[in-house]
Structure 1
Amino acid sequence: MAASALIVGVGLGVGGSAAANAARARAAADEQSQVLTTAVEDCGHPEGMAVGDSGQSLSIDGEGDEEFSGASLTAISCVLNELDVPDYVVSQIESTRALDGTLSASWSGLDATWNYHPDSGLSLDIHFDENDNN
């Protein structure tokens, strides 16, 4: 009888722990889904930026020489700053040429791909790494 009480007690402890872990995982996912949205909001909802996939991705369409609508360089810089994008990634984005094609980088659970053409401007997509287990 004592053994079955111990087994039931351990079973409840494990179940309770699993439920607590699941609740923490849900809370972390909810917090994660707000990061990109908050960055865009904090920069004043710039034109040319769209948060998608329930807050898991951000698409930025920058202004170009022949495409006057889109996110300004100031707005893009603001969002990158809000997301704490490392300086080396910002430097890579800033130095991209049309001939470079599509480039990518990863940091802190985020992945980014971008390309640039002077006529159409910067096209930058940022999303959470599906394989990151933070």
Structure 2
Amino acid sequence: MSIPEVPPHQPRNGQPGHGNPDDTPEQQTQLGNVDAVPTGQDAPWHGGPSTAPPKGSRKPTLFGAIGLVIGLLLGVIGTLSVNGIVQAASAASAAEAEANKPKPLAEAVNKCNLSSQTISAKLGDDGHTLSLDGKGKEDLNGLAWIDIECALEAVNVPDYVREQMGSTRALDGTQRESWDNFSAAWSYHPDSGMNVVLRFTDV
């Protein structure tokens, strides 16, 4: 079996081969121009699309992040402002409701002109208690019985309670009674007189 002889060079696409002695100088020059790899600015890009972001592409991203932060801050400030307004309104409403609550004991002091008797007529517990210190043999600065009766009538103390107060003796000790939203505790001694503590409970 005979082996066919392979030619020393196969031309590409009908072009003269490299180093073919049969090629003319013009053909070899043309072949050299085709196979030459351009470099520098004349070299074409064969590396595929670039993964590096173009110049200036980070600015929109930075501006977007700054805008997001500013938006969050404005949202927080707005929420705090709304909460502050709601709390202020609630506090004002509570203060108004407290101011509009009935204060019958303070009204009794004003009605009976006892506001000047700061020692013998004392309001306490934000107007919820009234202490009345009556006049006795050893307590000449106390309230007269007529002043105590005026305060009792101003808060609508029932007749039976007032009768119990009028009949209380020294040996009876402290007596207590309650009605509606009021309660009373009192005691009597000839030396210290009648001492009454009235208490009002909010409705």
| Alignment TM class, shorter chain as reference | 0.7 to 0.9
Return the index of the structure with the highest Cα Rg: 2
Q: Percent identity?
A: 42
Q: Which residue of 2 aligns with 1:42?
A: 111
Q: Which residue of 1 aligns with 2:56?
A: none
> What's the CA shift string for 1:94-114, capped at 9, x where partnerless?
100000000000011111111
Aligned AA (2:169): R
- How far apart are 1:27 and its partner, in Å? 3.7
Structure 1, unmatched stretches of 5+, are 1-22
1:31 equivalent in alignment to 2:125: no
The 5-angstrom pairing of residues 47-126 of structure 1 reads 47=117, 48-126=120-198
Q: Counterpart of 2:135 in 1: which secondary structure?
A: coil
Aligned AA (2:162): V
Q: Counterpart of 1:114 in 2: which secondary structure?
A: strand
Question: 2-side partners of 1:92 and 1:65: how far apart?
Answer: 21
> What's the CA shift string for 1:36-75, capped at 9, x where partnerless?
0010110011631111111000001100012101111110
Structure having the larger proportion of residues in strand:
1
TM-score by length of 2: 0.49
Spell out structure 1 runs of 4+ moving beyond 4 A: none
Aligned AA (1:59): S
Quote the RMSD (CA, aligned, Å): 2.0
Q: Counterpart of 1:66 in 2: which secondary structure?
A: coil
Question: 2-side partners of 1:111 and 1:87: how far apart?
Answer: 14
Question: 1-side partners of 2:173 and 2:125: how far apart?
Answer: 25
Structure having the larger proportion of residues in helix:
1
Distance 1:29 1:116, change over 3 A: farther
Distance 1:105 1:29, change over 3 A: farther
8 A contact 2:105–2:200 mirrored in 1: no
Question: 2-side partners of 1:106 and 1:85: how far apart?
Answer: 9
Name the structure, 1 or 2, with higher relative contact order (CA <8 Å, separation 6+).
1
Mean CA deviation greater in 43-52 or 77-86: 43-52
